[in-house]
Amino acid sequence: MQLMMDPALPPEAFGALVAAMVSISETAGMIPGSTASARWPQQRRLALGEEGALGLAEYVIVLDADPPHILMTHVLLY
């Protein structure tokens, strides 16, 4: 993820992204508070930071792949 290597990325945003990725991994993407897309339930959104103050992360849960995996598709920082 090129965003994580950007030296202009604020430390709090870096920490929030790392925390989100760890939570996604530990819960197989089913993080309490994350929301699913109505048209594509495998796509989920997760607020970053305290009450989403830092932005939003989107990811896709690919259960029918071998092995199943999760892809971070978009990060929007405020």
The per-residue pLDDT string of the chain (78 residues; one tens digit each, 9 = 90 and over) reads 666 777 888 888 889 989 999 999 899 889 998 999 999 989 999 999 888 899 999 999 998 888 889 999 989 998
Domain boundaries, the chain: 2-77
| Alpha-carbon span 15 to 13, nearest angstrom | 5
CB atoms under 10 Å from CB of 72, counted, come to 17
Read off the amino acid at residue 7.
P
